[in-house]
A and B are shown apart, each in its own frame.
Chain A
Amino acid sequence: MLAYALRRLLLAVPLLIGITFVSFLVIHLAPGDPVEIQTGDMSQQHSAQAYKALQELYGLDQPLHVRYWNWLSRIVRLDFGRSFAPHGRPVITMIAERLPITLLLNVVELLIIVALAVPIGVLSATRQYSTFDKITTIFVFVGFATPDFWLALLLMILFGVQLGWLPISGLRSLNWEYLTFWQQQWDFLSHLVLPILVATFGGLAGFSRYMRQSMLEVVRQDYIQSARAKGLAERVVIGKHALRNAMLPIVTILGLSLPGLIGGSVIVEWIFAIPGMGQLMVQAAFERDYPVLMGNLVIVSSLTLFANLMADLAYSLVDPRIRVGRRRR
């Protein structure tokens, strides 16, 4: 177990370096450089001077590998530089502020999806081809095919504008400071309703189909037949024996979803103006905010790598075949 963990950790190191390498390359190989963009609007004589000054400031007059090394040695100290935006805040601070929000959004979404998908999958499997099964299948397929930004738009119109029941942007109302503590909590929650609704609608499909599939396979197993032959109530057969075994692939899928916890909510964040990492990325892409783009990419990818690692380790804990299988080869 420990050997497996150590091996995975060691494998992760070159991947981390690879992340920084690709992030650096992706942005520096692009045509046009950031200084040009900033000085583009100035008059001719000023722009030439400003260009040179900015180049030196950002160290852009040095060769590529030197820049990479400089950048790399700074980011191991978690110094991702400052944003190009007028406020010039440190990138790492901007990201640190937004990470908990993205995580909150995605974790809650994942929990709701699992909570809904398991019963839907189980019921669909035990009542295969019934009306319930057919309806949920259609519902789930449609949910998967719906573009999240479109659904968000429609829900915003319906709930936000026409009915006025729910807020449609940000995390707090404008009168936040004037609310009582409980009103503040309620306000926060109501801001989360629409984004989470949109996010879960699409994600439910994969999970519930998987659960249904897994349950269908399990129910056909011999031990289920012997449980029934023993005279156990159907509810116990399904609820205890079948379910427990059908849950195993769910752990796999949960593991696969872990990376999505960080990088999966870009559009939802953007359209609902939730200040998370996804929204930051879109904004930075519009503004061509170099340092933020690079920093965000590196951090998000590293966190995804970390999540993958955790998922693998957890999975090897659950399924001993993983550990043994490796050693035998």
Chain B
Amino acid sequence: MRDFWRALSRNRLAVIGGVVVAVLGLLAVLAPAIAPSDPNRPDVRKILDSPSSRHLLGTDQLGRDVLSRMLFGARVSLAVGFVSVGIAATIGILLGSAAGYHGGMVDAAIMRVVDLMLVFPRFFLLLAVLAFLKPSIWTIMAVIGLTGWMGVARLVRAEFLALKEREFVLWSQSVGASAFRIIWRHILPNAMAPVLVAMTLGIPAAILTESGLSFLGLGVQPPHATWGNILNEGKDAIELAWWLSVYPGIAILVTVLSYNLLGEGIRDALDPRLRQRAGRVVSRGR
């Protein structure tokens, strides 16, 4: 564990990524407190004002403060990122561990389902589903999560296949521990490393997907602010208000970049360590 933190802190880019991630999280949580104005209050006297000291990032077509909208948009994007990855990871862990532990028919069946889901191009599937559901934050979260669990499932299954043969599993089985207990308490904690990497890298992917969908108009609907939304509304006023088309994009870029740097850093820190640790892995709990 200590090796991990040491390796991670030596990776400068990952540390920068981590710091930005933390700052963004803080900004998102504190948005209601630090936003200069109400993000949803239109003010027709201030339509399309360029950035000024009063409105640091300008205003949009309805006179709403862009900075406030972007702060609240951060909440949406991060929430969608975390919740959808949470859903995907949960499904992936459940199915992957079942497949990896039980093997045989269960494994074959689950892997068939994974193969089937992987055949659908993600965006097409999302579009087909979202065409008929009322677009809201919750449907977006659910849908992105439900279409992204396959990678985690495969990772977990691979880890389980490797760990299943270890002594601590045989010991637990010989004293009659239930499958659930063995999976949950013994194997899973040791299998989590690649899952953690996948989740950290899955968040920026989910954020990109959500902003893409919102940009198309099928994601989070106005008046709720999300970065993709602001870009969508702003594109009609490109020549008059460049700030509507620049700042939200930068926000997305910085967020995705930081999470990616952090995720890659975690992956690198875990990787050679993992090889060393493999000889010393001991199950936790009894």
Contacts and interface: CB of A to CB of B under 8 A. Distances in A.
Contact of B116 (A18, A26, A144, A154): A18
Contacts of B246: 154
Nearest to A142: B257
Interface residues of B, number: 42
A26 B130 CA distance: 10
Contacts of A161: 238-239
Contacts of B216: 267, 270, 282
B260 A145 contact: yes
B127 A281 contact: yes
A15 B216 CA distance: 30
Contact of B249 (A30, A150, A270, A293): A150
A267 B115 contact: no
Given A147-B228, A281-B123, A285-B218, 13 more contacts: A27-B131, A145-B253, A149-B228, A259-B121, A260-B121, A266-B124, A286-B131, A286-B218, A288-B132, A293-B128, A293-B131, A300-B124, A305-B119
Contact of A281 (B116, B128, B254): B128
B123 A278 contact: yes
Contacts of A304: 119-121
B124 A149 contact: no
Main secondary structure of the interface of A (DSSP, over half): helix
Nearest to A287: B131
Contact of A15 (B119, B204, B242): B119
B124 A22 contact: no
A160 B246 CA distance: 16
19 contacts: A14-B112, A22-B120, A27-B128, A30-B132, A145-B252, A157-B242, A157-B245, A259-B119, A263-B121, A263-B124, A266-B123, A278-B124, A281-B128, A282-B127, A285-B218, A288-B131, A297-B124, A300-B121, A301-B119
A218 B95 CA distance: 36
A14 B131 CA distance: 27
B25 interface: no
A147 B124 CA distance: 18
Interface in A127-179: 141-142, 144-151, 153-154, 156-157, 161
B7 to A, nearest CB: 17
Nearest to A260: B121
A120 B42 CA distance: 49
A26 B260 contact: no
B125 interface: yes
Contacts of A142: 253, 257
Interface string A273-308: 000001001101110100001101100110011001
> Range of interface residues on chain A?
35 or more
Contacts of A148: 212
Interface of A: 14-15, 18-19, 22-23, 26-27, 30-32, 141-142, 144-151, 153-154, 156-157, 161, 259-260, 262-264, 266-267, 270, 278, 281-282, 284-286, 288, 293-294, 296-297, 300-301, 304-305, 308
Contacts of B129: 26, 30
B251 to A, nearest CB: 10
A163 B132 CA distance: 41
Given A22-B120, A282-B127, A153 B252 contact: no
A161 B239 CA distance: 9
Rank and list the top 5 A-B pairs by shortest CB-CB distance, nearest first: A263-B121, A30-B132, A150-B249, A285-B131, A145-B257
Given A147-B211, A153-B231, A263 B253 contact: no
A270 B120 CA distance: 19
A154 B245 contact: yes
Contacts of A157: 238-239, 242, 245
A305 B115 CA distance: 9
